[in-house]
Amino acid sequence: MPSPDPTLVLFFGPFDPSGSGNLPADAVTCASLGGHALSVVTAIHVQDTASIEDVCAMAPEFIDDQARCLLEDMNVQAIKAGPLYSTDAVRVLAQIAADYSQLPLVLQLGTPLDTEAADDSDPEEVLAAIFELLLPQADLVLAEHGLLAHWQNDGILPAIENGTPAVALRQFGAQWVLTTGTPIRPGQGAHLLHGPEQATFNWLWQPPSTRLSDSDGPLACAATLELARGLPMPHAVDSAIKKVAHLATATFQPGMGYRIIDRSTHEE
């Protein structure tokens, strides 16, 4: 019997030449989990393992043409978007998500870069566009707890009485929000999933001993693959967490910056 074809996932994000995260890393993770990555480059970084020195943003027409070329050619089964640095890129993805609304959409939120290479939008304008245009179409939004708490403290996310930042994201229209690394006691945390009708799920999480580059990338990629395969949300996240748990300790330090996850490592 021939092997089944790999699951096709379309990734929107920047090209990281160090391989630490974003498109190159997602492609490796996807392959290790039995998927095949299709890529839409939204920007190109100039960076090493320590920092991003510059960003060259792709024109919105290029982003749109590349995505539609792939979507019209192949049977894409889900879409994952990483960092977006311009309001134009957000608008392009929002229109594509609307045109292909049958495909699960996963957003991995991060800190927008303050760079003139993107366009004349500042980071808060980019975030506002993401909240307005993409969150209402997102099946799953994944973000680190500390980042969301920072946004709420700065007023980027509205403060909600007795409500978490995840609740604030859901008020923008996101169906499910996965908050990673929520501290629950010293030395221990949890991944928290919030969904419709106040549904909540949690998984214990042990913080890594050292800071990692793109620590949530494998989980976001795995969750996208499980949704593409038809698993319902809580089961998809549960399966994704189990499949990438071993990567928390599979790291190496090829340069002078952060340690990098060894995404080529298979679970024993």
Residue 245 in tokens: 């748990």
**Rounded to 5 degrees, what are φ and ψ at 77?**
-115, -10
pLDDT in tens, 42-51: 999 999 988 8
Above pLDDT 90, what percent of the chain? Answer: 62
Count Cβ atoms below 10 Å from residue 225 Cβ, excluding itself. 29
Please give the average per-residue pLDDT across 245-252, as a whole number. Answer: 82
Of 111 and 234, the one with more pLDDT = 234
Query: Assign residue 197 a region: left if phi > 0, alpha if psi is -120 to 50, beta otherwise?
Result: left
Please give the average per-residue pLDDT across 186-210, as a whole number. Answer: 89
Whether residue 195 lies inside any domain: the answer is no
Name the residue range of residue 108's domain: 7-157+211-260
Ranking 18-27, 153-162, 237-246 by mean pLDDT, the lowest is: 153-162
Whether residue 181 lies inside any domain: the answer is no
DSSP 110: -
CA distance 175 to 193: 11
Whether residue 192 lies inside any domain: the answer is no
CA distance 166 to 121: 25
pLDDT value for 118: 45
Residue 141 in tokens: 């939004």
Whether residue 206 lies inside any domain: the answer is no
Token pair 């604030």 is found at: 168
Mean pLDDT score of the chain:
89
pLDDT value for 159: 74
Count Cβ atoms below 10 Å from residue 130 Cβ, excluding itself. 23
Q: Are 103 and 78 in contact (CB under 8 A)?
A: yes
Contacts of 192 (CB under 8 A, 6+ apart): 145, 164, 166, 178, 179, 182, 200, 201, 202
DSSP, collapsed to helix, strand or coil, labels residue 199 as coil
Q: Nearest 5 degrees, angle CA 190-CA 250-CA 30?
A: 85
Pairing assessment for the beta strands 176-185 and 188-194 based on DSSP bridges: antiparallel
Q: Output the domain CATH number for residue 46.
A: 3.40.1190.20
DSSP, collapsed to helix, strand or coil, labels residue 15 as strand
Predicted confidence band of residue 268 (pLDDT cuts 50, 70, 90): very low
Ranking 19-23, 90-94, 235-239 by mean pLDDT, the lowest is: 19-23
Token pair 């090209």 is found at: 15
DSSP, residue by residue, 24-79 = HHHHHHHHHTTEEEEEEEEEEEEE-SS-EEEEEEPPHHHHHHHHHHHHHHS---EE
Going by C-alpha positions, the residue among 69, 66, 52, 181 that lies closest to residue 117 is 52
Above pLDDT 70, what percent of the chain? Answer: 93
Q: Nearest 5 degrees, angle CA 85-CA 88-CA 94?
A: 100
Looking at the 3D structure of the chain, how many domains does it have?
A: 1
Going by C-alpha positions, the residue among 267, 226, 37, 17 that lies closest to residue 140 is 226
pLDDT value for 200: 94
Whether residue 105 lies inside any domain: the answer is yes
Whether residue 187 lies inside any domain: the answer is no
Residue 131 in tokens: 């909240």
Ranking 14-28, 71-85, 121-135, 159-173 by mean pLDDT, the lowest is: 159-173
pLDDT above 50 (res 198): yes
Please give the average per-residue pLDDT across 180-203, as a whole number. Answer: 91
Going by C-alpha positions, the residue among 209, 164, 159 that lies closest to residue 184 is 164
Whether residue 42 lies inside any domain: the answer is yes
Whether residue 96 lies inside any domain: the answer is yes
Predicted confidence band of residue 141 (pLDDT cuts 50, 70, 90): very high
pLDDT value for 117: 45
Alpha helix stretches (DSSP H) within 158-231? 165-171, 217-228
